[in-house]
Amino acid sequence: MQFDPTTCSPFLLLVHHRHRFSKFNPVVRWASKLLLPEGFPCHPHRGFETVTICMRGGMKHRDSVGVKQHYGVGNNKAGDSQWLRAGEGIMHEEMWDGEEEQELYQIWVDSPRDEKMAEPRVECLTTKGEGTVERPWEGGADVYIGRVEVGEGETREVPVRPGHDTVIVYNRRGETLTVNGERVRTHELAILDGRMCGGVIRVGGGAGEVLVMTGKPLRQRVAMGGSFVMETEEEVETARRDFQRGTFGNTWDHEVGDEEWRRTIGR
C-alpha cells in the first residue's frame, strides 16, 4: 500500500507480506532457483528508511557496506526487526531463511531532506513491550511504530505524541475491530488526523491485532522512482544514473557464498 505523501508523511509505503512454501517441494525449489527467488535479491535504495518487522520466519541480509545479518522470529537471530537507512545509496538483499511460514511488515519512511544523502546504516533490533520498534540511532523522521494486541471485550489506548499529525492503523487480524469508534476490517487501514484524536488512539471491538504508525509530517516534496525517494524528479534521475555507474556498489547474485559476496563489494 503506497501512501499519499500529502496526508501520510513521513510514511511512504506499507507491505504486509504473508508467504508459505515447502523447501522440500521440487517445483518450488526449481522456481526459486530459476524464476522467483525466495526473497528480495540485490537491489538499490536511496533517500529513505525501511523498517522490517518479522512476525513469522526470518530474513538473511547482506549489503554493499559489508553488513550481514540474520533476523526474525526464533532462536539464534540478531533480533526480530531491522531498521535500514539508505541515505546516499545502498545495495542489499533480504532472503528468506528457509522457514516454511513467513510473515512480515515492511514500512518505508521518508528521510528529512538534510539526511537523504547521509551515510547508509543498518541495524537489527528487538521490538520492545508488545511490539514497539524504535530507530537505534539519532535523527530521521519523528515516528512511532508499534504492534498492539487487543483481547475480547478490551479497549487499548495508544498515546499520540505531540506533533504526530499523521496516524495510520492497519488491521492485521480481527473482523470486528474498531479504531476510535470506526470499524476497520481485516487487512484494511484507518488513516486519521492526529490533531483530531484527542491525544489517543482507542482500539477495541473484539480480539485482534493492529499495527499503529504515527509521525510528524516532514512537509517536503516527495518524488518516488522505484526504490529511490527524493524531492524532485531530477534527483531521482540522478540516483538512477549513480546506480547505473556503480556508485552504490557492485551487484551480486543471491546464491553466491559470503566469500564471493565480500570480494564483489570489496570488503
pLDDT digits 0-9 by tens, 204-227: 999 999 999 999 999 999 999 999
CA distance 30 to 37: 9
Q: How confident is the model at residue 139, as a pLDDT?
A: 96
Q: What's the CA gap between 6 and 150, in Å, rounded?
A: 30
Q: What is the number of structural domains in the chain? A: 1
* Strand pairing category for 166-173 and 208-215: antiparallel
Q: How confident is the model at residue 134 (pLDDT cuts 50, 70, 90)?
A: very high
CA separation for the pair 149, 109 (Å, rounded) = 23
State the pLDDT confidence band at 22, using cuts at 50, 70 and 90. Answer: low
Question: Would you say 19 is a known binding-site residue?
Answer: no
Read off the pTM.
0.93
Work out the angle at residue 138's Cα, subtended by the Cα atoms of residues 137 and 142, and round it to the nearest 5 degrees. 110
Q: Is 240 inside a domain boundary?
A: no
Answer yes or no: is 254 a known binding residue: no
pLDDT digits (tens, 9 = 90+) for 108-126: 999 999 999 999 999 999 9
Identify the band that residue 20 occupies on the pLDDT scale cut at 50, 70 and 90: confident
CATH number, domain of 34, equals 2.60.120.10
Q: Is residue 143 part of a domain?
A: no
Cis peptide leading into 10, omega within 30 of 0?
yes
28 pLDDT above the threshold of 60: no
Is 29 among the domain residues? Answer: yes
What is the predicted pLDDT for the residue at 31?
A: 52
In a domain, 1, yes or no: yes
Question: What does the pLDDT look like over 154-173, one tens digit per residue?
Answer: 999 999 999 999 999 999 99
Domain limits for position 126? 1-132
Sign of the four-CA dihedral 166, 202, 106, 74:
positive
94 is in an annotated binding site: yes
- The pLDDT of residue 13 is above 80: yes
Q: Is residue 261 part of a domain?
A: no
Identify whether 182 is part of a domain.
Answer: no
Task: Tell me if 45 is assigned to some domain.
Answer: yes
Domain presence at residue 264: no
Average pLDDT of span 59-65: 97
For residues 122 and 61, give the distance between their C-alpha atoms in angstroms, rounded to a whole number.
Answer: 10
pLDDT exceeds 60 at position 30: no
Percent residues over pLDDT 90 in the chain: 85
For residue 231, give the DSSP letter: S
